[in-house]
Structure 1
Amino acid sequence: MKEILRAAFVIARRDFTAIIYSKAFIFFLLGPFFPVLVGIAAGSLGGQIAREAAQPVVGLAMTQSDSRKMIEARESLSVNMGENYFTKIKIVGDAAQDDGKNPQDYLKKKEDNLSVVVTGTLAKPIVTGTKGSVNRESAGIELLAAYGLNPGAIKLPEAEADIVAETANSDKQLRTVTAQGGQILVFFLTMLLAGMVLSNLVEEKSNKIIEILAASIPMESVFLGKLFAMLGMALLGILVWTTIGGIGMQVTQGLPNFPTPAVGWPVFITLCFTYFIMAYLMLGALFLGIGAMAATVREVQTISMPVTMAQLINFFFASYALTKTGQPVEQFAAIFPFSSPFAMIGRAALEPTLWHHAVAIIGQLFFAILLLRLGVWMFKRNVMKSGNAGRIKDAGKRKLFGLISVNG
């Protein structure tokens, strides 16, 4: 076992060094920022356009004095009730000058973007519009009209603030948001990073390096070393992305305020990090087995697609089980290896019990080892049976050490 781990460390160091000193690794680090920046820009622009296009306006077609009183009432009440409490209002007509004009004529002007038109008087306002718009705006219009008639009759009391540390809102329903955020983050990182294991193994199979390695050291060491090298690369990428993201949030003051998980933030972040490693090891070991069966990149893509879709189903299954804590469906999601990391992240956010996580992590680690051994067995059965590897053992050792010396 000691020799296997030492050889695995050699392979891991060789692959890790070759990856991080390549030009492709720089583009790999920059890759996730482009869709994020495009998404933020598109979301901001789309939201701005939607807000400007869909923002309703209440048109006032009363007498000039009544319309001004309505606007003054809105300005006064907005100080206490908030600017967004009342819909934006504007004067679109004058009842004294537009006598006999139909309110629908104002609504037809698309440039005003009117939802309703108010006519009549402050004592008896008439709201014209669709049923939904009238029902939505009537209460606010009535309040403004009443305040416009007699501002002194409506006096809003000032509420005294009494701050508490926790309320009933910081329970399971709110913590579900934190759980979903952790699940999505771990799933996204796992699927983004685990796929690199496939291409690395297929490349070395095509240029016969894998045969040299197989003739020199146990295949268990080769697979384990490659898996650890890719894990190290993934952790380095996460460190860079987290650092840049943290700096960006501090500069923009955009740090999201998620509800505190049941186990507390330090433990929750530690568990999310641990479950990412477990999910990566399991999926990476599975991808190594797939790479052992495939001879070309096209075969890798064909075989890995069902695995990717299955992992997506596991994620959705764990997300569905999030609200079923303690029920059989949630327990199965926590036990089933491929959905277990995501289900246990949800449990960490909702339940304070910790020993469940120790059992789950140990089980996931053993399953990752099982998948790795299965991948080694498949490689020996499908690739090494050709016979070349066994006849070049001595030459393979010399070439291996030559490769190690060249790569550092």
Structure 2
Amino acid sequence: MSTSPPGNLRRLVRQTLTIARRDFVATVFTPMFLVFLFTPVLMLSFGLIGGMGASSVTSASVEKASIVAIVDPAQQEAMRAADTRLRQLYARDDRPPALVMQVPTDNPAGQAHVAFSDRGSDASAAMFGELTRPTILYGGFGRRDANFLAQLAEETLRMKKSGTTALSTPTLTSIARAAPTPTGNKRSAFFAVFGIFFLTLFLAGQAVGTMAEERSNKVVEILAAAVPLEAVFFGKLIGMFGSALLFIGFWGTLASQIDVLVPNALGAAFRDIGPAVGMPVFSLLFVAYFAMAYMLLGAVFMGVGAQASTPRELQLLSLPITILQIIIFGLSVQAVSRPDSWMAIAVEIFPFSSPYAMAGRAANLPDLWPHLAALAWQLLWVAIVIAIAARAFRRGVLQSGSGKINWKGLIGR
């Protein structure tokens, strides 16, 4: 008595979900998953510690640095006021060094040179002479500070000529845009491409170790004897993708509150960034494209992990895939910066870069119908890659049959 195709398909789905549940439970319900879940915290902590060390060194250098202005006492008050006004045009971390004013001696040129030769001084630029034709010395990377001194001399003369320290008193008011700008769309497109690239490379890599470990323990051979090998591969992908969704859900919830956690000015800047299709639709498309990118890369990694018999072989086989992913990331970033170019179309069609480029397209352009076609195209390639990986495993490891892809066996006999 033969099994009907619908019954065979239901059995295949049941077997796939059984393996998916097995891998999901084995991955999530372990203490190591908590360590994996908080890995970004450890990475940020190490980066923060290093950044604090570099910042302390930089701050110490900035505190000692100075720019010197050798001017008459009658001009110093106006120059201090001009210095205060000009510094308001710079961000806090981008402002020139502190201004040090000196009274000129009989040799102002020699006095300016002493600012660079004195061991206790850390001057980057020094100005002397009449403000209408000042001479400014600078050393090393001090050209920017020398330009500031030149503008400071100009502003001082203007303020002395006007007879007042300020001709206008502005009122600055911050407002939020009603809709993201095209620049905000492009920024969200970059964040989408980078997010999928980082999450896929970070999360899909675990498929390599899992497959290699279960191959060395003969677990895959035991599973392949009970169910079709394609179901084993696809079930493992679904199980590991479930753990990846938990990871994304946890950190995505925290990221959604970023405008509340950060200062108001920075939160307003984040609110100016947004996708063209709207945030609810974009969130669904982001998850869908991440799923496709994860499945594609995970299937490739699983096929590699199934072929590797030693950790050294695993590293050698995984390195080209990682390099290819970095190249795809670079091409996708270029594509989303020019969404109407031929390069963008090519990157959107190529199956392994399509999830990245289409996520960027969702941020840049409001059309929705291309995403339905893209998801169907990517899902087809997920099936193809899984079938190829299973065939390679069947031929190279199990050494059973011809290694042909058993398409008919998946839907009925």
Q: So what's the TM-score if we normalise by structure 1?
A: 0.82
Match of 1:384 in 2: 398
The 3-state SS of whatever aligns with 1:152 is: coil
Q: What is the aligned partner in structure 1 of residue 6 from structure 2?
A: none
Q: Comparing 198-207 with 276-285, which one deviates more in the overlay?
A: 198-207
**Displacement after TM superposition at 1:53 (Å):** 3.1
Task: Output the CA distance in 2 between the equivalents of 1:70 and 1:363.
Answer: 66
Structure 1 counterpart of 2:163, one-letter code: P
Please, which of 183, 208, 218 is the counterpart of residue 218 of structure 2? 208
Which 5+ residue runs of structure 2 have no aligned equivalent? 1-8, 402-413
C-alpha contact 2:127 2:137 (8 A) present in aligned 1: no
Q: State the distance in 1 between where 2:62 and 2:165 align.
A: 34
Offset, 1:313: 1.4
In 1, distance between residues paired with 2:175 and 2:259? 27
| Contact 1:315 1:342 survives alignment (8 Å) | yes
Give, as a single letter, the amino acid of the residue that structure 2 aligns with 1:222.
V
In the TM superposition, what is the alpha-carbon distance from 1:365 to its structure 2 partner? Answer: 0.7
Match of 1:229 in 2: 239
Which of these residues, 352, 359, 363, is aligned with residue 377 of structure 2? Answer: 363
Q: Encode CA deviations 1:183-234: one digit per residue, 9 max, x unaligned.
A: 1111011011111112222222222222221222222221121111100011
Report the counterpart of residue 279 of structure 2 in structure 1. 265
CA contact (8 A) 1:177 1:259 kept: yes
Tell me whether 370-379 or 85-94 shows the greater mean CA deviation.
85-94
Q: State the alpha-carbon separation in 1 of the partners of residues 70 and 47 from structure 2.
A: 42
2:329 maps to which residue? 315
Cα distance 1:160–1:40, how it changes in 2: closer, same or farther (>3 A)? Answer: closer
Letter in 2 for 1:312: I
Q: Secondary structure at the match of 2:61?
A: helix
Structure 1 unmatched runs, 5+: 388-408
Structure 1 residue 152 and structure 2 residue 164: aligned?
yes
Asked whether the 8 Å contact 2:67–2:145 carries over to 1, the reply is: no
Q: Is the CA contact 1:125–1:145 (under 8 Å) kept in the aligned structure 2?
A: no
Structure 2 partner of 1:292? 306
* Paired AA for residue 170 in structure 1: T
1:140 to partner: Cα distance: 2.7
* DSSP 3-state at the match of 2:99: strand
Q: Quick one: which amino acid aligns to residue 181 of structure 2?
A: S
Asked whether the equivalents of residues 13 and 229 of structure 1 are also in contact (C-alpha less than 8 Å), the reply is yes
Maintained 8 Å contact 2:24/2:239: yes
Partner residue in 2 for 1:342: 356
SS at match of 1:325: coil
Q: What residue number does 2:15 align with?
A: 7
Q: Structure 1: how far apart are the matches of 2:44 and 2:172? A: 42
Match of 1:99 among 93, 106, 112: 106
The one of 181, 184, 187 aligned to 1:177: 187
Change (3 A) 1:163 1:241: closer
Q: Distance in 2 between matches of 1:235 and 1:14?
A: 16
Identify the match of residue 151 of structure 2 among 131, 139, 157. 139
TM superposition shift of 1:31? 2.3
Q: Which residue of 1 aligns with 2:137?
A: 129
Cα offset, 1:264, TM superposition: 2.2
Amino acid paired to 2:66:
V
When residues 268 and 140 of structure 1 are mapped into structure 2, their CA distance, relative to the original with a 3 A threshold, is farther
Q: Distance in 1 between matches of 2:172 and 2:262?
A: 32
TM-score (norm: length of structure 2): 0.81
What SS does structure 1 have at the residue aligned with 2:385? Answer: helix
**Superposed displacement of residue 47, structure 1:** 4.4
Give the counterpart of 2:290 among 272, 276, 285. Answer: 276
Q: Does structure 2 conserve the Cα–Cα contact (< 8 Å) formed by 1:107 and 1:114?
A: yes
**Contact between 1:67 and 1:91, CA under 8 Å: does it hold in 2?**
no
Distance in 2 separating the partners of 1:30 and 1:6: 33
Contact 2:79 2:152 in 1 (8 A): no
